[in-house]
Every structure is written in structure tokens, then in C-alpha cells.
């Protein structure tokens, strides 16, 4: 193996949280690592890939936005790994949130869900009263000038 591909997820105390990431990595033929609260860590996954013969390791952070982990934590780990493995190339790819295709796919999913949402046709005023209460209004106040059908 010359090149290894590692997906990086945040991590969670809930083991079930990692299942979709594990399926993604397995289906893509990639390794999976976690920044925190999971195993293997980024350091462990990269070190293992190099021990198994990788000379290039490409890291894809599965983050929707650039925050502290993407901006600081992952690069700090990579600098330490590069110093420990100077004969290897360790590359951090832009996180998912920096990919226009990711946002286009997410927008499609949102639009699909919005299209599936049936219009409200219920005559049950309990739901309206609850919504009005949450919004800080009373059901009586919302009747004035309301365009909602009841």
C-alpha cells in the first residue's frame, strides 16, 4: 500500500454515534480516526497506516465547518506525525464544509425533506396553541390577523 486515506470525525461518548462514520469508511475503503472521544485517534490511525506500508497519508476531516479542531488540533497532530515520519507525506484535505459538492448535496436533502412536508390541514387547535405558546403568544392573540386555517 502506497497511499492511505483516513476520514477524521469528531468522536462521541456514545458508541452508536460512530456507526455511520464506520460504514462510510468501510464502504469507501478508507480508515477512520477520531479527534477525541474515540479510537483510533488521528495519530494512531496515521501511525498504523505508515507501519503497514503507506508512504502517503491523506486526511479528510468530516466537519461541516472550520473550527478549532480543523484549524488547530488536526494540523498540530499532523506536524508531530510529519516530524516522526519525515520520509512520508501526510496531507490534510479541506474539510467537507469547504467542498461545494457537499453543500449542494445537503441542499438537495433539505429540499427533498421540505417537499415531503405535507401542508397543515388539521383542525386540532391544541397544536396551534402549543406553537403559539412556544412563540410567546396566546392562542387568542394569534387569532387576530391570523391567516392560519383552523
Burial of 59 (0-12, 13-18, 19+ CB in 10 A): buried
80-102 pLDDT per residue, tens? 999 999 999 999 999 999 999 99
Average pLDDT value for residue range 11-36: 92
Domains and CATH numbers, the chain: 3-100 (3.40.50.1400)
Q: Residue 146 pLDDT > 70, yes or no?
A: no
Nearest to 35 by CA among 10, 7, 18, 53: 10
pTM: 0.72
What is the distance between the alpha carbons of residues 97 and 17, in angstroms, rounded to a whole number?
20
CB 99 within 8 A of CB 133: no
138 band by pLDDT with thresholds 50, 70 and 90: very low
34-80 pLDDT per residue, tens? 998 888 999 999 999 999 999 999 999 998 888 788 888 999 999 99
CB 6 within 8 A of CB 31: yes
Average pLDDT, the chain: 82
Q: Residue 143 pLDDT > 80, yes or no?
A: no
1 band by pLDDT with thresholds 50, 70 and 90: low
Amino acid at each position: 500500500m502506497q497511499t492511505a486515506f483516513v476520514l477524521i470525525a469528531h468522536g462521541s461518548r456514545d458508541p452508536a454515534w460512530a456507526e455511520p462514520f464506520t460504514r462510510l469508511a468501510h464502504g469507501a475503503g478508507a480508515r477512520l480516526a477520531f479527534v477525541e472521544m474515540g479510537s483510533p485517534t488521528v495519530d494512531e490511525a496515521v501511525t498504523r497506516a505508515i507501519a503497514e506500508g503507506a508512504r502517503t497519508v491523506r486526511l479528510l476531516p468530516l466537519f461541516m465547518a472550520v473550527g478549532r479542531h480543523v484549524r488547530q488540533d488536526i494540523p498540530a497532530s499532523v506536524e508531530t506525525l510529519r516530524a516522526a515520519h519525515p520520509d512520508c507525506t501526510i496531507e490534510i484535505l479541506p474539510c467537507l464544509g469547504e467542498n461545494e459538492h457537499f453543500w449542494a448535496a445537503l441542499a438537495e436533502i433539505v429540499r427533498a425533506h421540505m417537499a415531503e412536508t405535507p401542508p397543515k390541514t388539521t383542525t386540532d387547535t391544541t397544536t396551534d396553541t402549543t406553537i403559539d405558546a412556544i412563540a410567546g403568544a396566546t392562542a387568542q392573540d394569534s387569532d387576530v390577523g391570523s391567516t392560519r386555517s383552523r
